[in-house]
């Protein structure tokens, strides 16, 4: 009997529990990543917030109590003197029309396909309007006017601008005004390089064929298929319990306790990782180290903190939910074992 319990325990501990732990995480992350809320609704919320948030960052960066670095603050103050705000620039270059129209529409179609409101079809994100906006004459004029509002360069500042013109790069642009031709060359080269790094189009669904399984959408069938994976750890835990005990009461008790241990360990880890991720997303662990953060970076993170927080919640909440449901199943099995014993 002792030998059977040892063998059953080994099967459960070294096979059943690790597989159950992994499946809980896999199913939870699958639920998160194929959900319309994550792939469709959240991006559209972010798009709607961009103009207002960029203006808020722009205004705050001019405050010496927020940005103490004189060079960084000088750039934002020079930009403010142009009379153009980021939101107005977004509007003038057509970015807002593209974001709220074509881009938001693409994300909406993704949600409709995932929910089964539309048949499975090819969906792509077209970034050509973004590339055109970066090279728009309005952007060029805004940058030239910003540089014109900076103080004149001394010999050291002029050399830094000339080095950037000769060798490329945009790191630590001097907060001073060089010759107009030099500034235009450096800024145009930087924007051109940024545009070249952006893909014209990114396919979310490509060359897809509607299958009977996905007529009700992609999200629901994928989630249902992922739930079937629980049969794997269930088989190993049942096998281990069957080896360890020959009675119905014992099998139920061994199975229930095993399921509880596996699910609670996954639950506690998910809660811990979620809390740690939210802490890291707030920039708190790196705020003391200048190599890891900057005042501007902290400002942007402060204004946009809700975005990583929403992403983290969306990713880990399904894992926590799945682990909770599995834990309840373990409690039910333990309760059934007690009920069988009383009978």
Average pLDDT, the chain: 87
Report the distance separating Cα 55 and Cα 61, nearest Å.
10
Report the distance separating Cα 102 and Cα 106, nearest Å.
6
Backbone phi and psi for residue 36, each to the nearest 5 degrees, phi listed first: -60, -30
Q: How far apart are the first and last CA of the chain?
A: 24
Burial class of residue 151, CB neighbours in 10 A (0-12, 13-18, 19+): exposed
Calculate the CA 82 to chain-centre distance. Answer: 34
Has residue 291 got a pLDDT over 60?
A: no
Has residue 171 got a pLDDT over 90?
A: no
pLDDT of residue 23: 96
Average pLDDT over residues 5-14: 93
Average pLDDT over residues 111-128: 81
Tokens found for residue 99: 């974001």
pLDDT of residue 226: 87
pLDDT of residue 40: 83
pLDDT of residue 214: 56
Tokens found for residue 288: 């003391």
Tokens found for residue 199: 């893909």
CA torsion sign, 304 to 305 to 308 to 310? Answer: negative
Element (H, E) at 205: strand 201-205
Has residue 63 got a pLDDT over 50?
A: yes
Tokens found for residue 207: 């060359």
Tokens found for residue 80: 């403010």
If one compares 167 and 160, the residue with the highest pLDDT of the two is 160
Has residue 213 got a pLDDT over 80?
A: no
If one compares 48 and 212, the residue with the highest pLDDT of the two is 48
Average pLDDT over residues 267-272: 96
Report the distance separating Cα 49 and Cα 39, nearest Å.
17
Query: Please, which pLDDT band fits residue 292 given cuts at 50, 70 and 90?
Result: very low
Average pLDDT over residues 182-190: 90
Report the distance separating Cα 179 and Cα 186, nearest Å.
11
pLDDT of residue 86: 93
Has residue 99 got a pLDDT over 60?
A: yes
Has residue 174 got a pLDDT over 60?
A: yes
Has residue 208 got a pLDDT over 70?
A: no
pLDDT of residue 300: 85
Has residue 158 got a pLDDT over 90?
A: yes
Tally Cβ neighbours within 10 Å of residue 27: 24
């Amino acid at each position: 009997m002792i030998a059977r319990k040892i063998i059953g325990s080994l099967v459960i501990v070294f096979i059943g529990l690790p597989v159950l732990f992994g499946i809980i995480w896999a199913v939870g992350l699958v639920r998160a990543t194929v959900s319309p809320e994550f792939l469709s609704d959240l991006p559209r919320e972010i798009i709607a917030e961009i103009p207002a948030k960029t203006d808020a960052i722009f205004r705050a960066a001019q405050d010496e109590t927020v940005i103490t670095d004189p060079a960084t603050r000088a750039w934002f103050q020079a930009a403010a003197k142009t009379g153009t705000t980021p939101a107005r620039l977004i509007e003038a270059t057509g970015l807002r029309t593209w974001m709220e129209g074509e881009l938001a529409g693409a994300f909406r179609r993704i949600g409709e396909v995932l929910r089964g409101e539309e048949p499975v079809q090819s969906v792509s994100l077209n970034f050509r309007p973004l590339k055109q906006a970066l090279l728009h004459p309005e952007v060029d004029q805004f940058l030239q006017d910003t540089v014109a509002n900076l103080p004149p360069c001394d010999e050291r500042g002029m050399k830094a601008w000339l080095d950037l013109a000769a060798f490329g790069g945009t790191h630590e642009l001097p907060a001073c005004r060089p010759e107009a031709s030099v500034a235009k060359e450096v800024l145009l080269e930087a924007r051109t390089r940024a545009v070249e790094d952006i893909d014209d189009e990114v396919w979310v669904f490509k060359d897809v064929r509607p299958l009977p399984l996905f007529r009700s959408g992609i999200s629901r069938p994928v989630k249902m298929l992922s739930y079937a994976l629980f049969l794997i750890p269930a088989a190993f835990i049942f096998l281990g319990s069957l080896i360890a005990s020959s009675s119905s009461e014992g099998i139920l008790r061994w199975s229930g306790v095993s399921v509880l241990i596996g699910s609670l360990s996954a639950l506690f880890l998910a809660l811990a990782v979620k809390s740690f991720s939210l802490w890291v997303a707030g920039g708190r662990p790196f705020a003391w180290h200048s190599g890891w953060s900057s005042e501007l970076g902290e400002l942007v993170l402060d204004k946009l903190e809700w975005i990583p927080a929403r992403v983290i919640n969306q990713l880990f909440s399904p894992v926590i939910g799945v682990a909770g449901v599995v834990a309840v199943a373990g409690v039910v099995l333990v309760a059934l074992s007690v009920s069988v014993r009383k009978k």
